[in-house]
Structure 1
Amino acid sequence: MVLTALVIAMGTSTTARYEREQRAAAGTATRREAAPAAVAVEPVGMARAA
């Protein structure tokens, strides 16, 4: 019974953290879309051209 409560508590905190990160990423994406056309936004993980 205690182990079940521990698993539920850990899952709840992990889900809350995930949702906060998703909201933060959505806010960043909104700001990128509002950036002027002269500013190039590179996707994360893309290599720069040499």
Structure 2
Amino acid sequence: MEAGIDSQREDTSKAHALRLTQKLEENQENYREELRISRNRVRTGLD
């Protein structure tokens, strides 16, 4: 029984880590897009 619980915890930890990784990648992508928009505004004098 104990081994099953440990295996389930490991699976849960992996799933959590995967979600965090996906969220981090999404945040980085959003940051890069915002940075690109900001640079374009500065270049075109919109700000």
| Pairs aligned (count) | 39
CA distance in structure 1 between the aligned counterparts of 2:37 and 2:9, rounded to whole angstroms: 43
The structure with more radius of gyration: 2
The 4+ residue runs of structure 1 with deviation greater than 2 A are none
Aligned equivalent of 1:6: 12
What TM-score do the two structures reach when normalised by structure 2? 0.74
CA distance in structure 2 between the aligned counterparts of 1:21 and 1:10, rounded to whole angstroms: 16
Higher RCO (C-alpha under 8 Å, 6+ residues apart): 1
Structure with the higher fraction of residues in helix conformation: 2
Aligned-CA RMSD value: 1.2
What TM-score do the two structures reach when normalised by structure 1? 0.70
